[in-house]
Structure 1
Amino acid sequence: MQPPMYLPEVENNPQPGPHRNLIERTRELGQENWQIWNLFAFRPEMTIHMGRFTHAVMHEEGPITPALRELIAAYTSSLNHCEFCMRSHAAVTAALLDEATVHAVLTDLDTAPIPDAEKALLRFTRKVTLDSAHITPADMAPLHELGWDDAALFYAITVAALFNFYNRWVSSSGVHAVSHEGHALHAANIAQRGYIRA
């Protein structure tokens, strides 16, 4: 049984729409509820735009792969100590790559078995997360030398910025992580279909 969110009026008042349908379906199936759905379901006329934006940023065609975008989301969430988002996006990344690589990145980026260019991009997103006020053109130059163009940097910055928002939204509202199996259950669907809820 999950602990309640910090906002019971939000958690207990899902409005009609796809996220309330998800909440009801998981309850009927006896599965764990992702409490972030309660945030989306509270004001669907507002959050529908967030869902579409998230889908476009994370899943549609772009200059960096969906797997790397998901890894940036998981890495950003780990920096912000957001357990729900870190586990969720680690699970999606694992569905697109493999669990050992994701674990290695989140444990020790320096020794993780990923290309140096990807490590550099992740280090840059660390600065976006922890010290964005001090980013200058000097931060871009080594990334350009490693083959990342401005479009790729735009995506990396946008993913990191998006998950800085989500981490704060989720953590401050009291959204709790679910089990490893609970995260993995929906990760495969997200990896394949993205974030649009019909």
Structure 2
Amino acid sequence: MRNGPGEYNHEGSSTPHITLNSDEPGIRGLFKYRPEAAFPLNGLVEVLLFRENSLSRGERELIATYVSALNECRFCFFTHAAIAAAHLSEGMTLVEQVRADLDAAPVSDKLRALLVIAAAVQQSGKKVSKEDVAAARAAGATDLEIHDTVLIAAAFCMYNRYVDGLATVATDDPAHYAARAQRSDGYLAVLTDSLSQS
């Protein structure tokens, strides 16, 4: 049985490893520090999580959330959990069920198979087996959905390591993440608004 990582029960109290030019938490502070990198990073996540796709926005955000949970990246988990919950009819209940026990979570066979692939990528790209891919196909996943699942998982390993590798700060207060989760104009629009307020 696959089990999710432990609960995140306390607020982060770390000080970033570098001096940032903003008190924005997590990746937001890093984007303000290095906007030249922020635009391509947000462009990628815009394509993967926001633009039209045969997987729903909630499903794709859930893949990003699951990988962030496996990597124990508090900021990315809380951010994308809130967005996933806003786009899934079962809301945060489903997010928590997937994190706690993917085998028992009430998701479609296709989404479960894709989340298994995402979890394999989180360990190593070489952990994705032919059997994993065959199971996803048998459950109805297209090649594009398998491709995007692998890329979402790989990208979020990078984002998670970027956020945690510089010891950024993240709050556990759900209200902090809720407002961003309600926005419907995409990642690049949010970034542009954020940078214009600098």
TM range (shorter): 0.7 to 0.9
Q: Does 1:142 pair with 2:135?
A: yes
Instruction: Choose which of 175, 179, 188 in structure 2 pairs with 1:181.
Output: 175
Task: Say whether residues 1:170 and 2:163 are aligned partners.
Answer: yes
- In 1, the alpha carbon distance for the partners of 2:168 and 2:158 equals 14
1:134 to 1:36, Cα distance in 2 relative to 1, 3 A? closer
Structure 1: 5+ residue runs without aligned partners? 15-22, 24-32
Deviations 1:122-157 (A, max 9, x none): 011101111322334333112111111111111101
Q: Structure 2 length normalisation: TM-score?
A: 0.82
Matches within 5 A, 1:82-93: 82-93=73-84
Residue number among 54, 57, 70 corresponding to 1:63 in the alignment: 54
TM-score by length of 1: 0.82
Asked whether the equivalents of residues 63 and 155 of structure 1 are also in contact (C-alpha less than 8 Å), the reply is no
- Structure 2 match to 1:20: none
Identity %: 31
The question of 1:79 aligning with 2:70 is answered yes
Partner of 1:193: 185
- Structure 1: which amino acid aligns with 2:99? L
One of 80, 90, 96 as aligned partner of 2:87: 96
The aligned runs of 1:6-155 (5 Å cut-off) are 6-9=16-19, 11=20, 13=21, 33-97=24-88, 98-155=91-148
Aligned to 1:28: none
SS in 2 for 1:110: coil
Matched-pair contact (CA < 8 Å) for 2:18–2:166: no
Give the unaligned 5+ runs of structure 2: 1-10, 193-198
Q: Point out the structure with max Rg over C-alpha.
A: 1
Distance 1:62 1:181 in 2: 28
| Cα distance in 2 between the residues matched to 1:132 and 1:35 | 25
How big is the shift at 1:184? Answer: 1.2
Asked whether the equivalents of residues 5 and 176 of structure 1 are also in contact (C-alpha less than 8 Å), the reply is yes
